[in-house]
Each structure stands twice: as structure tokens, then as C-alpha cells.
Structure 1
């Protein structure tokens, strides 16, 4: 089955075309025909495409909105010159969409119909920065391909529906949860699920035997405690703002700070929330950038104090969550790193692991340095009772597989 995977944002859409079916899933032999992204939708969009042979093509096109972007993408994918082997729109058999928030009603991936669209829309107030754009991606694809091509919604929050009540409830008056569904939902679920699956495959461990802490570290960051293949706790909460320090998000703060900052700075609550989401984190501490690569260069080469401070706080917060989740799990097999920072920065991985020697984790620095650029492997020293791994996340592949499973009637993983 040829599956188009879409991750639609406000002015971007990331995409992949994946060939998969039951036999390919069983043998880990799915084929990624191409992947890429369209940026700056609404004007002269910038398009980057990476082909099956590893070559990259960059081009531009005037794309006024998401509908125009999806039309362009479908046209390109089915152009004989694209190299996908797809020559007509009918060669796209299904579309899988990343949807950030499924609320309490969507506990697994589902085929899109009118009821599902209404459900996603009902959760817009829980994810106002994401769900509206996800909806536009679905609607644009329906127009481009017609109602006959099945579409599947894969929810970031679904993986965390296994959290027990004591992990997902906040210690606020219980009626607020009953009336407004205020609880920990967690995000990056598709990524954490992908990491856990791949870890089991490469280590040959049974799902029921695995206890790991996964760290998805990119511009957005989250930690997850996974036991027996299911999430038992995660750092992001009611929104993606809670938890680890991120590129521009503050992570954990004292809730009383919102009113205090608003009063002292003469800001509205929405302005304070915007500050905590888009002007804080690494950017807010350093005053320079939210890009970890640039911060490391500033700290190491120019000895910039605030860049070094931002890195210290980032690593400390991640290490603190690892310790907390080791306690929640009652011990673990491994700490597993993924995401743009987690997969590519050996220095950040090493710094997070510093101080975890009491857990039995010792870093093999030579092995750690070699694990960049999409490589997977173990970088804990031989004999470490707590292992450390890099396992690149592959959310798009998991979305494609879920899409096949839903459309074909194949059972979704538990």
C-alpha cells in the first residue's frame, strides 16, 4: 500500500511517501520513496525533497495556503519524473495525518470520518496552535484526492492514555477534571512509541520485559517512562509547555509566576503564556538562540556565560527527570535518546548522563562520539547496569504503519 504521510503546521507541511503492508511491517522492510517539507506556505514557499537514492532537491513555488501546498505535493508525488513510481493520484492508496491532540476520546489511531473531524475540532481549545492546522491538512487532502481515498488520524496523545490516574491527574479540585478534562495528556507519543518499538527490535528484548526512559530532545522536548511497551508517565502535561526546558518553552515553572509576571510587566495572561511558549527556554536564558548547536559553539568557543547557563539548565532538568522516572519504574534497562538534539549531540548526551553513575550508568565516550547523523547504538560502557542508547525516532513510519493497519482492518498494537 502506498501511503502519503502528512504533518501539517501553520505555514509548513512535512511529508513522506511510504510503501508498507503486513509482510513489510513484520519484516521491517517498509520502503520510504521520498520525504521532505514545504515551508513558508502563504507566499513563495520553499520546498525540500529527499529521494530514495539519498539525493536532495530544493525548489520554490507560490503556494497561498495549505490547499495549494497539498495540491502541489500530490502533483509532484504522482509525476513520473519524481521517481516514486506513482503516476496517478489513484496510486496514493491512503493518507496518514499526525494530529497533536485527541483529548480523552481518541485512544488510538482512527479512520477519518465526519464524527472524527468533529472530535478533532472539539479538541481545538486544548491545542489551539496545532489542531486547526492538522484539520486544514486533512481537509486539503480530501479535496485533492477525493472522498474515496481513506485518511487516518494518528494522535500524539494516544500513546499516553495508559497513564494511571495518579500520574495523569493534577492535585487541583477534582470537579475541574470532571467538568473540563484538565489532566496530563502528554505529547510526542508517536515518537516515544517509535523509540520503544525500535529499542525492542535492536536489543531482541520482549515487550513485556522492557523498562526504559525515553528522551525526545529537539526544539520540543519530553521524557517518558515506559514499562512493558506502554507509557506510565510523561513530562508534558495538559499542554506541551510543561516538563523539560525546550528551545523556546520554559518547561516546569511555579504557576503563581503567571500572575506575578503579568502584574510586574503589565501583560495580559495570554501574553505571559505566549512568552513562556515562544520566548523562554534556551532562547530566553541565553538571549541568543534556541538552536543547541549554536549555543554549544558560543559556550565552547566564545565562553559565553549565558549560553553555558542555558545548556547547564537544559541538561540538569533532563537528568532530574531521568532520576524521577527511574524511581517511577522501580529501575530501568536503559535511557534512550532521540530527537534532533538527542540523536546528534554527543556532548549533550554525555552531560545529561554525568551524575548518573549511582544508577550503574557509565558512558563510553568514544562510542558516544560516533553516534551522530542518524546512527543508532549503545554508548554506555561495557558492564553498565543501566544502559544508554541512541535510537533515532521515526514518527512518519509509525504513522504509515498505523494507517495501513486501520485501513486494512489489521489490529493496532496494544
Structure 2
């Protein structure tokens, strides 16, 4: 087992690879970057070394193997290549781990086979995650590869929260249940929120609101997830950038039978042409806020619908937890859109929830409290760091195993 302290974190998407090289001695980034438009004629690699002097190249990346080889070359140019003895492990984000993978897992052929069996419940994500693992193994076959699953943190949900009320035998046969996603973010943020409050995670109950283009909420009791808004797929729950979130299942039947849409067309509609985009033609919250301020009715409707769903989940998870010590906003919208935070918590003073307008307006990359001192529930903005969480889990696993 390597005595190195560096972890390469890979997040392979269907046409992209995000990566960070992290030194676990101090959590510092030695390099980070993105390869996008893999398999297209206009591929792009953006690499940022520790010096911060960003390098960009435009070229064709025919597949993930070519993309990762280019990443390896960029890292080597910085003196932190994949052949470095300081590299201890490669950590991979894998979206769906099903019921089997509820903790970071050392990748073996058996593990890969099981992740492949989960492709039907994560067809957009798991295939790309598998490809990233396979290519990384080919580049460094001697190095441990660790899969960290988006679903793992939510595996602690009680059965009554994870089950859908459909025929149990049918559900079990087809693995239909609520799994939840964004788990590494929810885990990191719930722990970071406890640190912000000077508490042990086991001492507090937190509602985490991960609001990016995708969005999810979680109810975390004493450091353990007891409910989350996403379900079998990342489509359930909050209104998102392009995803509908919660809809009556009858909508699908209606669109098929009456509207004449195919199942694939409905899938595309709900995942890619709904949410904020479907309501007003934009999925960028900054643009929606700008349009709403100028009196655009569609943009205002999109914002109000988004916030209404968010408030419903805050109330629901307050009820699930019984006692809430903190609400943490995170991810792109959660960390940067003060109007969303203000609107989502407005009128909840009877629940002990309030936001201080001045504190809320401050822009900062640091974790911070935005509720007034008298509020019973602390409202905070806590930047997420999924890559660091993956690195921590991967590094801890290989050192525990050694």
C-alpha cells in the first residue's frame, strides 16, 4: 500500500471528466480541471495547477481514455503526475450504489459487475462512472481505486422513509425504492454545519438544502440521514434547473394516453425541459432573478414555484426531525442566491427560523451564520466540497485497509 498522501478525485460524466488532486496532509488542491465535450469535434480541457495559472486547450477527445491521458499529461507537466509515489489512491464519484454499497468501497471486478447491474436505475450516470474507473485502472493498475457513492449517506433512512407504497414484491423485484443522491455533499455539509456551531454532529439535527442546477434536501438527525427529497432517481423532490421534481405519477399516464408522447419523450420532458427551464425558459437563477425584478411574469412564477417547493420541504423535514438546530444552504444557488434564502425562510418565525437581511446579503466563500442571534434555529450558508469528502473517504479506506 502506498505511503503517499495525495488523492486524485475523478468525476466522470457521460461527456466530461472533472478532477482534483488533493494533498491529505492539509486538504490543499495541487491541481484541478475539467475535460468536456468528450466524443465531439470541439473538446476542451481546462487545467488549473496549484500556482493558479490556468491552462486551456481545445482538441478532440474521442473517448474517456484519451481525456484521462491528457489529464495525466497536464498533471505530469506540473510535477504531480500519476506515476508519483505520493499518489495513494484514486477516488471515484459513483452516482448509484443501490442497497449493497453503503460506504466507500475498494474497486474489484465483482464491485464493477454490481455497479453495472445498477445501470437500469442510473442509466445517465453509472455507465460513465464505470468508464472512468476502468480507464484509471488501466493507467495505474497497481494503485487502489475507491468508489464513493452518492447514495451511500442516505442508506440510513428508515424503511418507512425509503419505501414507496406500491406492491412490495414488484418493488423488490425491480429495486424500486428511494435511494437519494448528492450524498457526499449532504454528509460534508451536515458535518461542516456542526463544526460551525461548535458542536459534535451527533448532537444536532440539520436540514441540508443542496441547491444547484440539481437540488435536494435532507433531514439529518445526529449526523445520520433519516430522509431526503430525491428518490429512485434524481428526478424526485425539489424544483430544479431542468427537472420537474415532484409530480403526480398520473401526469405520465396522461401525457402518454392523451398527449400521445412516448415514454422516452416524457422522460426527456421531465428531466431536461422542466423545472425552472420549463416554467420560464431559463435555468440560471441569476437570470431568473434579473428578469423577475424587471417584472417578467414567467420568471416570477418560476421563482415562486421553486421557493414554494423548498418551503414545503423545510416544513416537512422540521416535522420529521421534531427538533431542528440548523438549516444549511449549499451548492451554487444555495451559496450565492440571497433572495432564494430570504424567500425560502420568510414567514417561518413561529418555527424559530429567521434570516438577518444584512448577514444574508454578505458574499463570502466561507461558512457563515445568516440568522439573527435571537433565532432558535441557526440558518447558515455552508459551501460544499464534494471532492474533499470523496478524497477523505477514499484515503481513510486505503489506510484502514493497509
Superposition TM-score, scaled by structure 1 size: 0.93
Match of 2:75?
77
Q: Is 1:130–2:125 an aligned residue pair?
A: yes
8 Å contact 1:16–1:35 — kept in the other structure? Answer: yes
1:263-310 Cα shifts (integer Å, max 9, x gaps): 232211121111100000000011x2111111111111x311001100
* Number of residue pairs matched by the alignment: 397
1:50-74 Cα shifts (integer Å, max 9, x gaps): 3334443333232111110011101
8 Å contact 2:72–2:81 — kept in the other structure? Answer: no
CA-based RMSD of the aligned residues comes to: 1.5
Q: Is 1:349–2:346 an aligned residue pair?
A: no
Cα offset for 1:207? 2.0
Q: Within 2, Cα distance between the matches of 1:157 and 1:190?
A: 8
Cα offset for 1:185? 0.3
Cα offset for 1:124? 0.4
1:5-51 Cα shifts (integer Å, max 9, x gaps): 0001011111100011xxx4xxxx32211222111111332222333
Q: Secondary structure at the match of 2:258?
A: helix
Cα offset for 1:85? 4.4
Structure 1 regions of 5+ residues with no counterpart?
none
Structure 1 residue aligned with 2:376, among 379, 385, 388? 385
Q: Within 1, Cα distance between the matches of 2:53 and 2:229?
A: 37
Structure 2 residue aligned with 1:408, among 385, 399, 402? 399
Cα offset for 1:190? 0.5
Single out whichever of 41-50 and 109-118 deviates more from structure 2.
41-50
Superposition TM-score, scaled by structure 2 size: 0.95
Q: Within 1, Cα distance between the matches of 2:349 and 2:401?
A: 44
Q: Secondary structure at the match of 2:181?
A: coil
Q: Within 2, Cα distance between the matches of 1:237 and 1:203?
A: 30
Q: Within 2, Cα distance between the matches of 1:401 and 1:123?
A: 25
Q: Secondary structure at the match of 1:47?
A: strand
Q: Is 1:12–2:3 an aligned residue pair?
A: no
1:172-225 Cα shifts (integer Å, max 9, x gaps): 111123222211000000100010111122221012211010000000000000
Aligned CA distance change for structure 1 residues 232 and 87 (closer, same or farther; 3 Å) = closer
Cα offset for 1:230? 0.8
Q: Within 1, Cα distance between the matches of 2:143 and 2:214?
A: 32
8 Å contact 1:187–1:236 — kept in the other structure? Answer: yes
